[in-house]
Amino acid sequence: MSSMKILILFSSSDIGGVEKSLTRMVTVSNEKDVCYVMASFAPAGRWFDWAKELGLSPHALVSADQSFLSRIWSLIKFIQKVRPNVIYVCGLRQALYLRLIKIFNFNSYFKIVHAVRWNPDSSSRLDRGFRYIERYTGFLVSYYITNSDIARRTLIKMCNIAPEKCSVVHNGVSPPKKADVLERAVKNNSILYIANLHPVKGHIPFLETVERVVERVEDAHFFFIGRDEMGGCLQSAIKSRYLEKNITLTGFVSDVERYLSNAKITVLPSLHEGSPTAILESLQSGVPVVAHDIDGIPELIDHEKDGLLVSFQNYEEYADGIISLLLNEERRYQYGQNGKMKVLNHFTIEQCARKHLMLMRGILEK
């Protein structure tokens, strides 16, 4: 087969789960007939700098002062320059822009593969808009790759996407680096929540669980790891509940392994989710996860084997689950060992890369 060029196009230059997973995937790819090009439809940011540190050559396609039409023209010129066989696009708006470009036939030679990283089945404006767009413009997309089975089922059932046109490739993670111990003292019972501070991540309602936990385990301490996208609302909510001594907001952290090496539990009380990389990072580090039983999360966590699944927004049950693991070292250790084996057998970045490449080859052969 002739050489294949794949453009991976992100919607943001921040580092989230999709940026982590796909960028690491490119770093382990060693196929001689495959060339990956990585770009963001955004000004240079943390992802851009991180990708360069990994030895890649990322592209930031736009600048902050560009108009919308100028940004679209920059995208068109970049596609003409790179001439990819496949554009693997992450982000609804960017996927729509590419469809419009194909309609106007600027670059009709490439195939669009749309990465769907969440389960778009809710009644939110975003999900309703997504389903409408896919129903009526999905014929312009060559293929869909979701990172959860439930998202694939939603595409088939609610967006009228043909089953043979979409597949599942779960996220993968790289082997952890040797983590340094945090320089400052860490509370004995440290609990991590690795997610950017955003309303959909459920930080504020989760404070009810925090209150219940610290009432019964006085030295429990929560670390909320991620950039603030709520404009200080979470800080105000923490203060109003007098939880400042029980919660540390770290901001963005590039090396979460350092925190995982000192954590007893990871939590994920999101209100909506896809298939979170943070869960796999935690399991790989031997840290059990307590999470809502929603969307793609049950595909990653086996209840009472490597973590706990709790009823959606039942914060009393959530607190009971956290406390039960904090107070049972043997159970926590067993869950951790099970999680490590699961990731090693099913969720390595090499497996993720192989599955993607197999699908890309099949798409081009059609």
What is the SS3 assignment for 150? helix
> What is the model's pTM?
0.92
Q: Specify the residue for token string 């990819």.
A: 84
Cβ count near 221 (within 10 Å): 18
Q: Crossing angle of helices 329-346/277-284, nearest 10°?
A: 120
Class of domain 4-172+348-365: alpha beta
Q: What is the pLDDT of residue 67?
A: 95
Q: What is the pLDDT of residue 188?
A: 73
- Which residues of the chain are in CATH 3.40.50.2000 domains? 4-172+348-365, 189-347
- The terminus-to-terminus CA distance of the chain in angstroms comes to 13
Please give the Cα distance from 197 to 25 (Å, whole number): 26
Q: What is the pLDDT of residue 107?
A: 57
Q: pLDDT digit string (tens) for 168-211?
A: 999 999 887 655 444 433 347 999 999 999 999 999 999 999 99
Handedness of CA 315, 320, 260, 353 (dihedral sign): negative
Q: What is the pLDDT of residue 366?
A: 76
26 against 184, higher pLDDT: 26
Which amino acid is located at 342 in the chain? K
* Structural contact between residues 325 and 304, judged by C-beta atoms closer than 8 angstroms: no
**What distance lies between CA 107 and its chain's CA centroid?**
30
How large is the average pLDDT for residues 231-236? 95
Cβ count near 56 (within 10 Å): 16
Handedness of CA 161, 167, 168, 169 (dihedral sign): negative
Q: What is the pLDDT of residue 268?
A: 98
Q: What is the pLDDT of residue 177?
A: 66
Strands 265-268, 289-292: pairing kind: parallel
Q: pLDDT digit string (tens) for 50-93?
A: 999 999 999 999 999 999 999 999 999 999 999 999 999 999 99
Q: What is the pLDDT of residue 254?
A: 81
258 against 107, higher pLDDT: 258
How large is the average pLDDT for residues 277-286? 95
Q: Closest by alpha carbon to 271, among 312, 327, 317, 223?
A: 312
CA dihedral angle for residue 84, residue 96, residue 134, residue 19, rounded to 10 degrees? 60
Task: Give the angle 255-186-180 at the CA atoms, nearest 5°.
Answer: 35
Class of domain 189-347: alpha beta
CA dihedral angle for residue 241, residue 309, residue 287, residue 316, rounded to 10 degrees? 30
- Residues forming a β-bridge with 59: 39
Q: What is the pLDDT of residue 175?
A: 81
Q: What is the pLDDT of residue 251?
A: 94
- Neighbour-count burial of 13, counting CB atoms closer than 10 A to its CB (0-12 exposed, 13-18 middle, 19+ buried): buried
Q: What is the pLDDT of residue 316?
A: 98
**Structure tokens, 17:** 């789960």
Q: What is the pLDDT of residue 176?
A: 72
**What distance lies between CA 46 and its chain's CA centroid?**
15
pLDDT at 49 over 70: yes
pLDDT at 114 over 60: yes
Confidence of residue 30 (pLDDT cuts 50, 70, 90): confident
Mean pLDDT score of the chain = 93
